[in-house]
Amino acid sequence: MFRKGLAVAVILLFIGVSVVPSTGNRVSFDDITPPVTTISFDPPTPTGKNGWYADDVEIILEATDDMSGVNVTYYRLNGGEWKTYVEPFTIESDDNYVIEYYSVDNASNVEDVKSAEFKIDQTPPTIDLTWEADKEDGIWYITFTAFCSDATSGMDRVEFYMDDELVCTDNEAPYEWIYRLPITSSVIGLIFNPQFSEENVTFFALIVIIIDSTDPSDFLSKHFYAIAYDEAGNSAKGEIYGPCYIPSGVYMFQQLTFPNNYEGYIGRFFIRATFDYE
């Protein structure tokens, strides 16, 4: 019995092959070459702009070894803990990612660590569109300002539209477009008897006198909006509808209602007002 076992050991040694007890795989003593691991993504290329993915990304690792075979593949994200790769997995969160990976074969050859980078941004930017009016030399200058931010890829640009027509593109903050309203107006207004509720303030314009040399109703009824784009191509929309137009004349006790904490111009009269509810 001893001689038979010795003979088997001598034969295995002679042909240069052993068996890994844990896996049952045959190992060649001549295998000194590490395995090779490749990475691929699904979708295969970024779906957004400027190299950003605007969708979930599936990570696929494939390892090969010509002699002893692949034993295990490891990976980690953004310098975290090493994990054993079992099957493709999906990344959903917005971020810039660095994935590192390597494999070990059954002869204990360790592959050099490789890495790949990808970035995900599926969240649109935020946008708040406001406007203010200033009068100089008989001309109204209406300034539209888009307050925008983006947490991941950063802002790219803002496009301003008037009645679905692109009128301005601004690539740098503050994102603004100034509209020159070619009319001459005189406005006199007094705020009288404000009444506050939990949600609104109601007041009366005691006397309003509007004198225009040009009918501004076409401008004041227009629809204005701005679209903010981030670097990944995500977009968000902010909208403002032109205030109602009241023809030139003298008006008394015109009732108006605005939200509490309103601060700005009363659009149809261009009267500056501030309301604070406490």
Task: Choose between 34 and 274: higher pLDDT.
Answer: 34
Q: Are residues 153 and 239 in the same domain?
A: yes
Q: Are residues 77 and 98 in the same domain?
A: yes
Domain that holds residue 232: 126-274
Find out whether 154 and 231 touch, Cβ atoms under 8 Å: yes
pLDDT value at residue 142: 84
Give per-residue pLDDT as tens, 161-173: 998 999 999 999 9
Q: Are residues 103 and 141 in the same domain?
A: no
Q: Are residues 83 and 159 in the same domain?
A: no
| Residue 224 domain-assigned (yes or no) | yes
Q: Are residues 112 and 87 in the same domain?
A: yes
pLDDT value at residue 100: 98
Q: How far apart are CA 200 and CA 192, in angstroms?
A: 15
| Residue 14 domain-assigned (yes or no) | no
Q: How far apart are CA 215 and CA 247, in angstroms?
A: 8
Q: Which amino acid is at 265?
A: Y
Answer yes or no: is pLDDT of 188 > 70.
Answer: no
* CA distances for 163 relative to 3, 139, 223, 265, 272, angstroms: 97, 22, 5, 22, 26
Q: Are residues 168 and 231 in the same domain?
A: yes
b/e 109-136 (16+ beta carbons within 10 angstroms → b): bebeebeeebbbbbbbbebebebeeeee
| Residue 188 domain-assigned (yes or no) | yes
Find out whether 232 and 50 touch, Cβ atoms under 8 Å: yes
CA angle 37, 41, 45 (to 5 degrees): 130
pLDDT value at residue 179: 86
Across 1-10, 41-50, 124-133, 150-159, least confident range: 1-10
Give per-residue pLDDT as tens, 41-53: 999 999 999 999 9
Assign residue 135 the CATH number of its domain: 2.60.40.10
pLDDT value at residue 8: 41
Mean pLDDT of the chain: 78
| Residue 11 domain-assigned (yes or no) | no
pLDDT value at residue 3: 45
pLDDT value at residue 30: 82
Task: Choose between 203 and 102: higher pLDDT.
Answer: 102
Across 87-91, 191-195, 219-223, 235-239, least confident range: 191-195
Find out whether 103 and 35 touch, Cβ atoms under 8 Å: yes
Q: Are residues 75 and 170 in the same domain?
A: no
Q: Which of 93, 120, 147 is the last residue of a domain?
A: 120
Find out whether 52 and 72 touch, Cβ atoms under 8 Å: no
Task: Choose between 95 and 180: higher pLDDT.
Answer: 95
Answer yes or no: is pLDDT of 7 > 90.
Answer: no
Q: Are strands 155-162 and 223-230 parallel, antiparallel or unpaired?
A: antiparallel
CA angle 114, 117, 119 (to 5 degrees): 160
pLDDT value at residue 257: 66
Percentage of the chain lying above the pLDDT 90 cut: 52
Average pLDDT over residues 31-60: 97
Is-above-0.75 flag for pTM?
Answer: no
Give per-residue pLDDT as tens, 234-263: 999 998 876 444 455 555 555 666 666 655
| Residue 63 domain-assigned (yes or no) | yes
Answer yes or no: is pLDDT of 137 > 60.
Answer: yes
Give per-residue pLDDT as tens, 63-87: 999 999 999 999 999 999 999 999 9
Answer yes or no: is pLDDT of 205 > 90.
Answer: no
Maximal C-alpha separation, the chain: 122
